[in-house]
Amino acid sequence: MPKTPEGREAPSTHAGQGRRGDSERYSLVAVMELIRSGRADTRLEIERLSGLGRAVVTDRLTALIDLGLVEEGELGPAIGGRAPRRVKFRADAGRILVATLDSTTIGVGLADLAGRLRVEHYEAIDAAQGPAASLKRLDTLFDWMLDQYPEARDVWAIGLGTPVSLFNLDASGLNLDALDSAIATDKAPLTENLVARYRAPVWVRSLVQLMTIGEFGVRNEAGMSNRDFLYVDLGDEITAGLMSDGRLHRGAHGIAGQIGHIATDSSREVCRCGNIGCLELVAGAGAIVGEALQAAQDGRSRYLAEVLAANGQLALADIGFSARLGDPYCAELLSRCGQLIGKVLAGLANALNPAVIVLGGELARTGDILLAAIRETIYRHTAPVVTRDLQIIRSQMGRSAGLIGAGLLTVDALFASDRLGGWITTGTPLQHPDVQALLARVTQSRRMPPPPDPSPDR
């Protein structure tokens, strides 16, 4: 098996190809990766970094241009001779559909092959209607987005983020990644529905992990590179994502980060997970709104009582606004919840030693009282060396982080060296043998009659 310059095995090829075919495929992948990563943008740089000869580089660039993956750009600066013609990756050669689903909101977007989000759309969903209604709406929004942007090229893949609570841990293998899990609705996995509808592979991740990837990618692009950081999503559920040395930590089953189920001593209530006193029961957005509603009803907060009388309901934003107006109950409530969250994050900081903790989610947007309580508690309960350079900041990306992360993750999966070698000679990952087998399998499964109902006759 041929080796890359770093000593790794070259991308796998199909049976029946000779050494020459393997060599050409490997060199195409090597040139493609240099251009796409931005490490080389002229023939001379490609020759120097790849170790390939001038004739080979010229031939491979011609092939990549003909395939529509690379294009020539402007002239670069001349160094002792003719100015070199730059080459660049064609990020518009294909498109990625991305989506995020949670208990209150559905988001959809269209990303290019650089993982950049070109358009995004969000709307509220009614959780009471069940997941089937949300997934049907997802199809409608994807179709609408493609109709609104007819100039978009072929959909190469779909990236999807969902809460872990929607995962069906019996993996279907329909998304080319055995560690990913399909989402089941009405006995039909979501990934199968999407593959059949859009004729493209699907990658599924937990929503907080995609938000973590999105925050990491944007910070890197802005020059704020921190290879070790913790992203915390503070909503009804409290979850976290960890980047360690630039890599996402997923865990054995892909669901790492369920910190909302770390036990506290502040409640004896039974959580939906079956345990007692979980953090989200006392500091999640839903728990906070529930406490505030009780305070408004029994007169402990004049501000909240007025809001409840005027609107008939309370929202988390009302609590944050009332705290900023000086309502002592709301200020104390947010401060107390911030301390509970801070104690859990202090334990993670001691264990993981991140450079940055990014706080996102609707609870993080309530104001500075909660953020100050989290910071103070972390600093008080961690070793001095851990917090010496630790930054604790509020996310500036909001819900866009999940869609950006879905785009970045999916693009990286498509262009991973081993997968790239399987399709680069065709110019599209839709011709990868695994994708073709996936499409055939889904088509066949939809032609077959559904299995009989296993329930006993009455």
In the prediction, which pLDDT does 170 show?
A: 34
Residue 187 reports pLDDT greater than 60 = no
- Of 58 and 162, the one with more pLDDT: 58
Q: Which of 10-14, 18-22, 305-309, 415-419 has the lowest mean pLDDT?
A: 10-14
Residue 278 reports pLDDT greater than 50 = yes
In the prediction, which pLDDT does 402 show?
A: 95
Give the whole-angstrom CA distance, residue 133 versus residue 106: 11
Mean local confidence (pLDDT), 429-452? 81
Residue-wise pLDDT tens digits, 411-437: 999 999 889 999 999 999 999 998 998
Residue 306 reports pLDDT greater than 70 = yes
Residue-wise pLDDT tens digits, 131-180: 778 888 999 999 999 988 877 678 999 999 988 755 443 333 334 343 23
Q: Which of 24-38, 176-190, 231-245, 393-407 has the lowest mean pLDDT?
A: 176-190
Residue-wise pLDDT tens digits, 209-252: 999 999 998 887 777 767 899 999 999 999 999 999 989 998 88
In the prediction, which pLDDT does 449 show?
A: 62
In the prediction, which pLDDT does 288 show?
A: 95
In the prediction, which pLDDT does 66 show?
A: 95
Residue 457 reports pLDDT greater than 70 = no
In the prediction, which pLDDT does 103 show?
A: 77
% residues pLDDT > 70 (the chain): 85
In the prediction, which pLDDT does 40 show?
A: 92
Residue 67 reports pLDDT greater than 90 = yes
In the prediction, which pLDDT does 182 show?
A: 36
Residue 186 reports pLDDT greater than 60 = no
3-state SS track over the chain: CCECCCCCECCCCCCCCCHHHHHHHHHHHHHHHHHHHCCCCCHHHHHHHHCCCHHHHHHHHHHHHHCCCEEEEEECCCCCCCCCEEEEECCCCCEEEEEEECCCEEEEEEECCCCCEEEEEEEECCHHHCHHHHHHHHHHHHHHHHHHCCCCCCEEEEEEEECHHHCCCCCCCCCCCCCCCCCEECCEEHHHHHHHHHCCCEEEEEHHHHHHHHHHHHHHHCCCCCCCEEEEEECCCEEEEEEECCEEECCCCCCCCCHHHCECCCCCCECCCCCECEHHHHHCHHHHHHHHHHHHHCCCCHHHHHHHHHHCCCCHHHHHHHHHCCCHHHHHHHHHHHHHHHHHHHHHHHHHCCCEEEEECHHHHHCHHHHHHHHHHHHHHCCHHHHCCCEEEECCCCCHHHHHHHHHHHHHHHCCHHHHCCCCCCCCHHHCHHHHHHHHHHHHHHHCCCCCCCCCCC
Mean local confidence (pLDDT), 191-197? 85
% residues pLDDT > 90 (the chain): 59
Mean local confidence (pLDDT), 46-65? 93
Cα–Cα nearest to 38, from 128, 114, 147, 132: 114
Mean local confidence (pLDDT), 448-454? 56
Mean local confidence (pLDDT), 90-100? 94
In the prediction, which pLDDT does 143 show?
A: 93
Mean local confidence (pLDDT), 267-276? 83
**Strand ordering across the sheet containing 202-206:** 117-124, 105-111, 95-101, 155-162, 202-206
Kindly report the average pLDDT of the chain as a whole number: 84
**With the C-alpha atoms ordered 395, 397, 155, 442, is the resulting torsion angle positive or negative?**
positive
In the prediction, which pLDDT does 452 show?
A: 56
Q: Which of 87-96, 124-133, 180-189, 412-421 has the lowest mean pLDDT?
A: 180-189
Confidence of residue 319 (pLDDT cuts 50, 70, 90): very high
Mean local confidence (pLDDT), 190-203? 87
In the prediction, which pLDDT does 1 show?
A: 37
In the prediction, which pLDDT does 268 show?
A: 81
Q: Which of 36-45, 72-81, 100-109, 301-310 has the lowest mean pLDDT?
A: 72-81
Mean local confidence (pLDDT), 81-99? 88
Residue 440 reports pLDDT greater than 70 = yes
Mean local confidence (pLDDT), 2-19? 39
Mean local confidence (pLDDT), 27-46? 93
